[in-house]
Chain A
Amino acid sequence: MSVKESELNQEPPCTSSLGNYLWSDPPQEKKWADCVHCGMCLESCPTYEQSGEEQHSPRGRVYLIKAVAEGKLNVDEHFADPVFSCLDCRACTTACPVDVDVGGLIEEARGQIRQAIPLKGWKGAVNKFFLHGVFPHPNRLHTLGDLLRFYQKSGLQNVVRKTKLINIMPQHLMELESIMPEVKGSVRKNNPSVIKTKGETKNEVSLLTGCVMDVFFSDINQSTINVLTRNGNDVSIPENQTCCGALHVHAGDREMGRKLAKQNIIAFEDADKVIVNAAGCGCMMKEYSELFRDEPEWEERAKVFEEKVVDISKYLYDTGYEKPKAMINTRITYHDACHLAHGQGVRKEPRDILLDIPGVEMVHMPNADRCCGSAGIYNITNPEMADAVLKSKMKNVPEGVEMISMGNPGCMMQMALGVQKYGRNQKIVHTVQLLDWAYQKEEGDSNDVSHKN
C-alpha cells in the first residue's frame, strides 16, 4: 500500500528508507546525532510547559523521531500526535547546548506522516483547499480577499455577528473571525513593478509580498516599501513570486513546498537581496536547501538564494537608515517572533530601530521570545494548546503599554486575539509600520512648517 501511495505522489518508492520511515526525504540522522538527552530544552518548550509530558517536549520528540528510524515505533497516529503538537517555534534550538535542529526534524517527520497517513474528511478538504487551492495562487487569494472585504464592508459581517449566525462556527474560528484585519488593497496590484527611491539610489532590492500578507496586511507591505525607498532603496516586486511554502512544509506537504520554493528561486534569480517582512516566510526561505537534499542542482541554487534572503529589520540595521525626527510619544513593548529570534537570530535589530524613534519608550516584556501560539496555522489546527500558550503569553505583556510591536503577521493576528480575549487594550503593530509612521509624521511636520512659511 505504501508503494502505491508513493507512486501516486510520483516519488521514487523507498529509495532511501530509514528504519520505519518508508519514503524519501526522511528525518536526518545527523540532526539528532548530537542530542544526548540532557533535557536543557524542556523548559523552553511551550507545549511541555502546558502538558508536562515528555513526548510533547523537544527531547521527547527527537527521541521518538529517532525511535522510528531505529524501527522501535511505527509512523502512525500515535507518533503523529507529538510530532504535530509541536509549534515548530525553535525555542529549543536556542536553549540546546549543541543547537539540535528540532524544527527541521519535526518538518521532515511530518513529511513522512502525511505520506503514510494522508489527511481525510473535512480536515483533508480544508487543508487541500487552502494549501493547494488558495495560498499558491495570488489571484485566488485576492479574490478571497475581495470577498472578505465585501463581507466586512457590506454590513454582512455585522449581520452575521448580530444574528448570531456566526455561532455555527467552532469557538476558535469565531474568535479568529472577530480579529480578522480589515482587508485593504494589494501592493502588488497597486504598485509598479519597480518603485524608485526619491533620492539617490544606493541599493536595489526585491520584496517578497507574501500570500496572506498582501491580502490582510498590505499596509505593512506598503510601509515596508515606504521605509525602503526612504532609505535609498529601489524596490522591485518580481511578478512570478509566490507563497513561500512555510505553511505547506509545516503541515508536512514538502512536495508542494518544493514546488513553491523552485518558483521563488526562479522569480528572485536576478535579485541582490530578497527583503522579507514576515518572520515565518524569511525563516522558511533561509532553509530552502533543506528541501532539496535529493536534488543537488536545486540544493545549490537554494543555497545561493538563502544568502539573499534578509528580514527587513536586519536589512535596515545592516545597511543603515535615517533616524526619524518626528516624535511618536508612546510606551511600547516588543514581542520576538519565534522565526525571527530563534529561527534567524534577529533580536537586537528591531529593538534598536524602535528605540531610534524619538518619543518611543520601550518596556521589557518577560519571556519576550516565548511563542504566542500562532505558529502558522497551529491556532487553527490545535486551538486548545494554542490558546493555553497565548494565555501564558498575554500574562507577560506589561501593564500600561499602548502598543506591542513585532515582525510577523501570524503573531500579529494571534496577539490581537489575545488582546481582545484577555481584556487588554494594546494596539498591535509591525516594527516597520511604526518607523513608517514616524517618517510620515516627519514629512507631515515639515509640510506643516512649509505651510506656515
Chain B
Amino acid sequence: MMSVIRINTTDKHIIHLAAIVGGTKSILYKKADLLAYDCDGFTIHKHLPRAVVFPKNTEEVSKLVKYCSEHGLPFLARGAGTGLSGGAIPVNGEVIISMVRMKKLISVDLENRRAVVEPGFVNLKLTNSISDRGYYYAPDPSSQYCCTIGGNVAENAGGAHCLKYGVTTNHILGLEVVLPNGDIIEIGRYGVLDEPGYDLLGVLTGSEGTLGIVTKITVRILKNPEGKQTVLAYFDKVEDGSQAVSDIISAGIVPAALEMMDKTAIEAVEAAAFPVGHPKDIEAVLLIEVDGITAGIEEQINQILEVCKKSNVREVRAAKDEEERGRWWANRKTGFGAMGAISPDYLVQDGVIPRSKLPEILRKIAQISEESGLRIANIFHAGDGNLHPLVLFDARKPGEIERALEAGSACLKACAEVGGTITGEHGVGIEKREEMWFVFKEEEILAQTNIREVFNPDNLLNAGKLFPTPGRCVEIKKEMKV
C-alpha cells in the first residue's frame, strides 16, 4: 500500500500518515500550506503543525490516532478553525486531524426530532436542510455560517438564542468518539437524555478536544416557532439599557434572544459591511427577540416596549418585516469581524456575570480600557449575562499584544470578582488557561485533570489547552488576594 504513495518528504511519519488517508490529496506537509494552519480564530499565538490530515471516515480517524499515539506524536482535531480561544492551535507542533471532509448529514428523523451528522457538517447547514419541513437546530453561534458542529461540541458553543434554548450540550443526544488510543466508543446510543451510568455526553461536550475526537453526532432538532418578532431599543445610558434587561426577565418574559452592543461596538458594526443606521451617540442598543405561539407574541412585544419606555429608552420599535429583522441580525452577528473596520486586531473575551452586575462590570471594563490605553468594545448576550469585551489593538505596535492580553485578563478577573466566571461559550483554549485560577481551587483543577488522565493518559491529544500549567497557581492566588 505504501509503495503507491508518492510523496516528497523524508519524514517517515508523514509517509505513514499519508498512507492511512489514502494519498497526497489528503495530507498537507509543505510549509506554505501549513502556515495557514498556524492559528485559528485566536490569532495571538501561532505555531506550525507537523502536518494536516483529512480523514474521510471514523476508521481513518481511528488509524491516524492510533498511529500518533503509538509513535508519541502530539495531535489534535480541528473543525473550521473559527474558535476564539486557540483550541485548535498546534502549540506542540501537532499533527492536525482536520474533520472538514467528514461533512455529511447522515440522517434526519423528524418523528423523533433528531438528526445525525458528521463532525465537519456546518452548523447553519443543518437548519437549512430541514427548515422547509418546519424544523431547525437551535444553537446558533455567530459563526454558524461556517463553524462545524464537531467544533461546537468541543467548545460547547453557545449563541444569541441560547438564552431560551440552552447551549450545545442541551442539544446533544449521542456521540461516536475516537479515544486517544484509537478505540471507537459510542455514547448516548439510544438518544435519550438520561442514560444509565455516568453522563459522559456532558463530560465530552465542552472538553475542548482533550478527551477524544468526535466522529458522529446525534443532535436534537426543534420545530420552528410559529412566530417571532424582534425589537430594537436605543438607550442614552448603559445603566438604563441594563435596567431594561433585568426588568424584561423580571416581568416573566423569556426572550429567545436578548443582545446588547455598546457605543464602540456600534461604531464598528456601522463602519462595516452590514450597517443598519444605529445612531452614533447612543450608549447601548438592545436587540430583543421573542418567539413561540403567534397568539402570545404581540402581548409580549407590548410588554417589552413598555419596560423599555420605563427605562428612559430613546427609541424603541419592533421590526416592520422579515427583511428588517434579518438586517438587524446580520449587523449583530457579524459584530466580531466588524472590529476589523476600526482596528487591525482584536482580542475577544468571554466573561459571564450575574445580570444585575452589568452596569458595575461595564464601569470596570471602561476603567481597564483607560488604564491599558486600548479601546474595548462590548457585545453581549445580555439576557444570560455572557459578555464579550473586545480589546482592540495593533499587533504591529510593540507591546500592544501583551497589553491586550493583560486587559483581557483583567476583564475576566473583574467578572470573577463580581461572582461570575471566565468563559460562557468560547472555551478556555490556550487563551484563558491561567485565568482558570480565578474560578477554581487547586483541588478542583486536579479533579478535572484526573478525568483527562483517564481518557488521555499520555496527554498527546491537544496538550497544553484548557488547564493552567501546574505551579503558577500560587502566584495567581496571591494576586487574587491583593
Contacts and interface: CB of A to CB of B under 8 A. Distances in A.
Contact of B32 (A39, A55, A96): A55
A37 interface: yes
Contacts, number: 105
Interface string A51-70: 01111010010011001000
Contact of A40 (B28, B30, B145, B345): B145
B31 A95 contact: no
A43 to B, nearest CB: 4
6 contacts: A36-B345, A38-B82, A52-B98, A53-B33, A54-B81, A98-B338
B81 A52 contact: no
Given A36-B336, A39-B81, 11 more contacts: A34-B341, A36-B337, A36-B346, A42-B146, A43-B146, A52-B54, A53-B33, A78-B33, A97-B272, A97-B341, A99-B272
A98 B344 contact: no
Considering residues B98, B100, B340, B341, which has the most beta carbons from chain A within 10 angstroms of its beta carbon?
B340
Interface in B17-49: 28, 30-33, 35-37, 39, 41, 43
Chain A interface mostly: loop
A41 B334 CA distance: 11
Considering residues A36, A37, A43, A96, which has the most beta carbons from chain B within 10 angstroms of its beta carbon?
A36
Contacts of B272: 97-99
A59 to B, nearest CB: 8
Nearest to B343: A36
Contacts of B273: 96-99
Given A34-B340, A97-B340, A39 B35 contact: no
A55 B54 contact: no
A27 interface: no
A278 B242 CA distance: 53
A39 B41 contact: yes
Contacts of A53: 28, 33, 36, 52, 54
A73 B35 contact: yes
B372 interface: no
Contact of A97 (B36, B82, B274): B274
Interface of A: 33-43, 52-55, 57, 60, 63-64, 67, 72-73, 76, 78-79, 81-82, 95-100
A96 B337 contact: yes
By Cβ-Cβ distance, the 5 closest A-B pairs, closest first, are A97-B337, A78-B32, A97-B334, A52-B100, A34-B340
Chain B interface mostly: loop
A268 B37 CA distance: 47
B309 interface: no
Nearest to B25: A51
Contacts of B31: 73, 78
Considering residues A38, A60, A78, A95, which has the most beta carbons from chain B within 10 angstroms of its beta carbon?
A38
Contact of A64 (B32, B103, B122, B336): B32
Nearest to A67: B35
A116 to B, nearest CB: 14
B98 A63 contact: no
Contacts of B241: none
A82 B340 CA distance: 24
B340 A36 contact: yes
B459 interface: no
A30 to B, nearest CB: 10
Contacts of B335: 97
B246 interface: no
A82 B339 CA distance: 27
A95 B36 contact: no
Interface string B4-17: 00000000000000
Contacts of B52: 53-54
A34 B340 CA distance: 4
Interface residues of B, number: 40
B271 to A, nearest CB: 8
Contact of A63 (B35, B82, B103): B35
B174 interface: no
Contacts of B100: 52
A38 B36 contact: no
A76 B145 CA distance: 33
A96 B340 CA distance: 10
A38 B41 contact: yes
Nearest to B103: A52
A35 B81 contact: no
B337 A43 contact: no
Given A52-B98, A52-B120, A64-B35, A42 B338 contact: no
A34 to B, nearest CB: 4
B82 A39 contact: yes
Nearest to B347: A36
Interface string B37-71: 10101010000000010100000000000000000
Contacts of A40: 143, 145-146, 334, 337
A410 B186 CA distance: 49
A63 B48 CA distance: 14
B346 to A, nearest CB: 6
Contacts of A42: 80, 82, 146
Contacts of A96: 273, 337
A37 B32 contact: no
B325 interface: no
B342 to A, nearest CB: 9
B364 interface: no
Given A55-B32, A64-B35, A98-B341, A37 B334 contact: no
A36 B341 CA distance: 9
Contact of A55 (B36, B103, B145, B334): B36
Interface in B262-304: 272-274
B32 A43 contact: no
Contacts of B145: 40, 43, 95
B237 interface: no
A35 B39 CA distance: 14
A102 B273 CA distance: 14
Nearest to B78: A54
B382 to A, nearest CB: 21
A64 B31 CA distance: 11
Nearest to A60: B36
Contacts of B452: none
Contacts of B28: 53, 55
Contacts of A78: 30-33
A345 to B, nearest CB: 12
Given A43-B145, A52-B100, A38 B32 contact: no
Contacts of A33: 340, 344
